[in-house]
Amino acid sequence: MAFPDLKRVLIGDPFPSSLEVHERLDKVRALAIFASNSISSNAYAIKANMSVLIILGSDALSLTLPLGMAVASLVLTVVFPYVQIILHYPSGGTYIVAKDNLGRLPSLLAAAVLLTDYVLTVSISVSASVRAITKTL
């Protein structure tokens, strides 16, 4: 079986470009879908930090505030470039920004990494939800 045939079996037929316009998200729905990624990542980071601090003992819990401040400063550090990108590319995202500044191959890599990140975020969220539900039962 050739590579294109395997690709069609696993992924399906290519999506027609003529139908692309009907598949776009408005800004409110896009924000609700894509902003959850960064919000959930921050929530899991704090939980992971607390888990490690608890394992290290009660003395290590005094590091909670400095670690929380470091996470908050990291979030602010990430927000500033996002604001700049939105101002300069109001209709584009990661792919458009990378393509304009770095070329086609880096833009495809950026898009693939972002899609992988979304898939992993969903799987972690589902896993955490199942754990929370089963823990309370």
The answer to the question of residue 103 being in a domain is yes
Looking at residue 114, its pLDDT comes to 84
Looking at residue 105, its pLDDT comes to 93
In this structure, the answer to whether residues 73 and 50 fall within a common structural domain is yes
Confidence of residue 4 (pLDDT cuts 50, 70, 90): low
**Which whole number is the average pLDDT over 85-107?**
85
Tens-digit pLDDT profile for residues 24-74: 777 777 766 666 666 666 666 667 777 788 888 878 878 888 888 887 888
In this structure, the answer to whether residues 96 and 132 fall within a common structural domain is yes
Please check whether residue 75 is in contact with residue 91, taking contact to mean a CB–CB distance below 8 angstroms. Answer: no
Rounded Cα gap, residues 64 and 7, in angstroms: 47
Looking at residue 102, its pLDDT comes to 92
Query: What amino acid is encoded at 75 in this protein?
Result: V
The answer to the question of residue 68 being in a domain is yes
In this structure, the answer to whether residues 118 and 129 fall within a common structural domain is yes
Confidence of residue 3 (pLDDT cuts 50, 70, 90): low
Whether the model clears a pTM of 0.85, i.e. scores above it, the answer is no
Tokens of 66: 């400095």
User: Which of 49, 71, 88 is a domain's end point?
Assistant: 88
The answer to the question of residue 76 being in a domain is yes
How many folded domains does the chain comprise? 2
Q: Is the pLDDT of residue 1 over 60?
A: no
- DSSP-derived letter for residue 43 is H
In this structure, the answer to whether residues 83 and 121 fall within a common structural domain is no
Could you tell me the residue range of the domain that residue 80 belongs to?
A: 40-88
The answer to the question of residue 77 being in a domain is yes
Please check whether residue 95 is in contact with residue 107, taking contact to mean a CB–CB distance below 8 angstroms. Answer: yes
Rounded Cα gap, residues 93 and 101, in angstroms: 12
